[in-house]
Structure 1
Amino acid sequence: MNTYQTLLYYCYSPIENAEEFAAQHLEFCKSLNLVGRIIVADEGLNGTVSGSPDSCKQYMEAVHADPRFAKTEFKIDDVSELSFIKMHCRYKPEIVHSGLRDPKSIDPNRETGKHLEPQEFLAMKDQEDVVVLDVRSNYEHSVGRFKNAVTLDIENFREFPEKVKELAQYKGKKILTYCTGGIKCEKASALLLKEGFEDVYQLHGGIIKYGKEAGGEDFEGKCYVFDNRVTVEVNSVNPSVVSTCKNCGKVSSKMINCANPDCNEHFTQCDECGWEMQGCCSTICTEHPRKRLYDGTGYYVKVPQPVNLEKISKRKHKNFPPKEQITAH
């Protein structure tokens, strides 16, 4: 039974005093009993939040009531349990790390690829003069991607600008970019235009919206998401599995994080190997002294860090006066 909702959204819109806004927005989300992860930057918002339908409704109404975010489009999933454990809302320089020395050199509010609605994307993607480009990271497209899509060997989106030169062979074609919810495509398509690609498009709303409005047709595998669910089904037309277990090679769509916190690799692993390897990607990782307890999900809320006693000692000395100064008053 689905008793909760998960909202995926973003909005490129300038925010003054963004760091202060992030702190206030965190308290607002907590007041609605929402959990999730929101990034706030001077350029806008990027978030996934989860809560009761009523809390999610109040949140969406509040966001839309703010003129800065009135254009925000929410992708709504009905879920059986909350998709996060806690609520985080943090200020960062960008809502998507572009990897550019001057992030302001591209602005999705000024120039970006032509937005294609899911049905338009479906109609165009197999045309002869079209290249479908996945702008996501390796661990994302390894578990699911569009049929015949061009994928890039990147660990993080900030590596995308360096990969653009590898796409020069496609400059005479129509480039159809896609990602999970559309946010990375805003910057990827803007960068492609800046680099001389003339006919650039993006899948509006990303894979998630495509699954809801076009049945996910020809999306092979599952879609990686950045919450407790890890991956979600999007194709109800011609579903398939494209990923294989890192350890035994058997077809599997289950993606986990390595139980070794120092490794924490995203990889695909079948249930059988998961229990045998204790949720680790290799034998070496199974022997790590800080290996986390594998519960069959391979999802860990927080990677514990070793206590830095030297740093704590320095902080104490910095923040507190010597004992003799305290007793002197």
Structure 2
Amino acid sequence: MDYLVLLYYCYSPIDDVEAFREEHHRLCLALNLRGRIIVAHEGLNGTVSGLVADCEEYMRVVKADPRFAALEFKVDEAPEHTFQKLHVRVKPEIVHSSLHHVKPHEKTGQHVSPQEFKELKDRDDVVLVDVRSDYEYNVGRFKNAVTLDIENFRDFPERVERLREFKDKKIVTYCTGGVKCEKASAYLLEQGFENVYQLHGGIIKYGLETGGEDFDGKCYVFDNRVTVDVNRINPTVISQCYHCGTPSDRMVNCANPHCNAHVAMCETCGQQLDGACSVTCREHPEKRPYDGTGAYPKSSNNYNPVQGLLSYRPPVAG
């Protein structure tokens, strides 16, 4: 395929976040990348798409920065861009949480490789904990994993007490790419849990390196693909159509922009409800036109990513 999708993060202090954001934005523009990148004092988090050569140059430049030398990219192929546009933003955290005091670059749960995770996951003394949101784990999760009924990662600290019954076991957290696990596992250690581990590189890396065995369903991703296949060994469908209950891993956003629920919906119900999750949403006066995909990428709204930026030339190799 002609394009790559890069998923990455790195907890490493950035002093002047505004200056870094400006420089990084120029780099992405020069390489014709699209996606969403978050810059914060605690580090860098992003997912971008671009032509193979452009993505390879981006990875080279990022890893040449000593602050991000340890950063690992999860790399997937795609037939085209998986984003409509580019945003590089400064935010308080690289993943929204209520754990501002936690510093994963100083202390976090022990990383286990995808192969180590595969060997650990079925042991009696191990419990897998999914730290993602409900709409993510409803479409795909590891067999026998504990889910915490959270709508947003910032709710994680409120659910930790549910894990006390597993305090004598090895707790292994996992998420899409690993960024949430860094803070989740660090917080568990802070709360007195002793045997805390995390899947290094998340679900995506596990699928790429092991074939994804025992990951049921699909993995929710935050780009135009919505979900991706992970399991090439024993795949199954675990989600059900939100409306009729038949097995379906076809994820849509409700066509009513005031609802915009992320739900699984079969093609038949999608057509009958014109992309809405209910009759009420179908009748909403501001319902968006349904094109059969259930995806509604934001329009550019005259967004000009070049405005105010000087020309940029990436550093030369060597």
Query: Which region of structure 1 is more displaced relative to structure 2, 111-120 or 15-24?
Result: 15-24
Cα distance, 1:301 vs. partner? 1.5
C-alpha separation in 2, matches of 1:275 and 1:144:
24
C-alpha separation in 2, matches of 1:3 and 1:251:
33
| 2:184 aligned partner | 188
The answer on 1:44 being equivalent to 2:40 is: no
| 1:62 aligned partner | 61
Q: Give the one of 123, 127, 134 matched to 1:131.
A: 127
Cα distance, 1:27 vs. partner? 2.1
| 2:95 aligned partner | 96
| 2:204 aligned partner | 208
C-alpha separation in 2, matches of 1:99 and 1:217:
33
Structure 1 gap segments, 5+ residues each: 306-329
Cα distance, 1:208 vs. partner? 0.4
The answer on 1:77 being equivalent to 2:73 is: no
Q: Give the one of 128, 147, 164 matched to 1:151.
A: 147
The answer on 1:261 being equivalent to 2:257 is: yes
| Equivalent residue letter for 1:30 | L
Contact 2:132 2:152 in 1 (8 A): yes
| Equivalent residue letter for 2:84 | I
C-alpha separation in 2, matches of 1:304 and 1:64:
30
**SS across alignment from 1:290:** coil
| Equivalent residue letter for 1:51 | G
Divergent runs of 4+, >6 A: none
Contact 2:84 2:298 in 1 (8 A): no
| Equivalent residue letter for 1:74 | F
Cα distance, 1:23 vs. partner? 2.7
How many residue pairs match? The answer is 301
Cα distance, 1:304 vs. partner? 10
Query: Which region of structure 1 is more displaced relative to structure 2, 13-22 or 211-220?
Result: 13-22
Cα distance, 1:279 vs. partner? 1.0
Cα distance, 1:303 vs. partner? 8.3
Contact 1:177 1:202 in 2 (8 A): yes
Structure 2 gap segments, 5+ residues each: 302-318
Contact 1:131 1:150 in 2 (8 A): yes
Higher-Rg structure is: 1
Alignment of 1:177-256 (within 5 A): 177-256=173-252
Cα deviation 1:23-63 (Å, max 9, x = unaligned): 33122201111111101111011100000001001100110
% of aligned pairs identical? 63
1:304–1:283 distance in 2 versus 1, CA, 3 Å: farther
Q: Give the one of 253, 267, 271 matched to 2:267.
A: 271
C-alpha separation in 1, matches of 2:96 and 2:114:
26
Contact 1:13 1:43 in 2 (8 A): yes
Contact 1:113 1:202 in 2 (8 A): yes
C-alpha separation in 2, matches of 1:174 and 1:182:
18
Cα distance, 1:127 vs. partner? 0.6
Cα distance, 1:267 vs. partner? 0.5
Q: Give the one of 99, 104, 109 matched to 1:108.
A: 104
C-alpha separation in 1, matches of 2:299 and 2:172:
36
C-alpha separation in 2, matches of 1:156 and 1:303:
25
